[in-house]
Amino acid sequence: MRIVIVDDEPIICEGLANMLATKKENNWELIAVYHDTEEALETCNWENVDLLLLDINMPGMSGLEMIELLREREWDTLVIIISGYAQFEYARKAMLNSAVDFITKPVAIDKLFAALRKAQTILNDREAERKKQLLIEENINHLIREYFNEIIFGTQDFSDAQKQGLCNDFDLGGKTYSIMLLLADEDDINFAELLKTAKKTFHCSFYSYPAGSGLTVILALLPDSSYFDPNIFLCFAKEYIQNIRWFGSAYAETIDAIGTSYTKLFQHMRDSGATNPVQTGRIIAHESPLPAVKNNCSLPVLQVLEIIDQEYAQPLSLTMLSSRVCVHPTYLSNLFKKQVGLTLIEYINRRRIEQAKKLLEDPLNKIFWISEQVGFINQRYFSQVFKRITGLTPVEYRSNFFLAK
pLDDT tens-digit readout, 343-356: 888 899 999 999 99
* Domain shared by 255 and 370, yes or no: no
CATH of the domain at 327: 1.10.10.60
- Whole-structure pTM over 0.75, yes or no? no
> Is residue 184 over pLDDT 50?
yes
DSSP-derived letter for residue 46 is: G
* Domain shared by 11 and 120, yes or no: yes
* pLDDT value at residue 262: 78
CATH of the domain at 248: 3.30.70.60
* Domain shared by 245 and 203, yes or no: yes
Q: Which one-letter amino acid corresponds to residue 392? A: L
Q: Which of 7, 2, 58, 59 is nearest to 30 (CA)?
A: 2
* pLDDT value at residue 190: 73
Average model confidence (pLDDT) for the chain?
Answer: 79
Edge-to-edge strands, sheet with 177-185: 205-212, 215-223, 177-185, 244-252
Residue 155 included in any domain: no
* Domain shared by 41 and 105, yes or no: yes
Task: Tell how strand 2-6 and strand 29-34 pair up.
Answer: parallel
* pLDDT value at residue 2: 92
Q: Find the mean pLDDT for residues 147-169.
A: 65
* Domain shared by 26 and 115, yes or no: yes
* Domain shared by 42 and 119, yes or no: yes
Regarding predicted confidence, which is higher, 127 or 148? 127
* Domain shared by 118 and 19, yes or no: yes
> Is residue 286 over pLDDT 60?
no
Q: For residues 333 and 324, give the distance between their C-alpha atoms in angstroms, rounded to a whole number.
A: 14
* Domain shared by 261 and 316, yes or no: no
Q: Find the mean pLDDT for residues 78-104.
A: 74
Using CB atoms within 10 A of its CB, is residue 302 exposed (0-12), middle (13-18) or buried (19+)?
middle
Regarding predicted confidence, which is higher, 150 or 99? 99
Q: SS3 for 162?
A: helix
* Domain shared by 103 and 171, yes or no: no
* CB of 141 closer than 8 Å to CB of 355: no
* Domain shared by 36 and 90, yes or no: yes
Could you give the number of structural domains in the chain?
A: 3
Q: Find the mean pLDDT for residues 80-101.
A: 71
Q: Of the residues 219, 254, 271, which one is the last residue of a structural domain? A: 271
- For 205-217, the pLDDT digits (tens) are 777 777 666 778 8
> Is residue 371 over pLDDT 70?
yes
Q: For residues 360 and 295, give the distance between their C-alpha atoms in angstroms, rounded to a whole number.
A: 31
Residue 86 included in any domain: yes
Residue 44 included in any domain: yes
Q: Which of 176-185, 279-288, 294-303, 305-314 has the highest mean pLDDT?
A: 305-314
Q: For residues 289 and 184, give the distance between their C-alpha atoms in angstroms, rounded to a whole number.
A: 30
> Is residue 166 over pLDDT 90?
no
* pLDDT value at residue 129: 79
Residue 141 included in any domain: no
Residue 354 included in any domain: yes
Segment (H or E) for 65: helix 63-72
* pLDDT value at residue 293: 65
* Domain shared by 248 and 306, yes or no: no
Q: Of the residues 271, 291, 311, which one is the last residue of a structural domain? A: 271
Residue 150 included in any domain: no
Residue 73 included in any domain: yes
Residue 285 included in any domain: no
- By residue range, what is the domain housing residue 11? 2-126
Tell me the pLDDT band of 176, cut-offs 50, 70 and 90: confident
Regarding predicted confidence, which is higher, 399 or 50? 50
* Domain shared by 256 and 310, yes or no: no
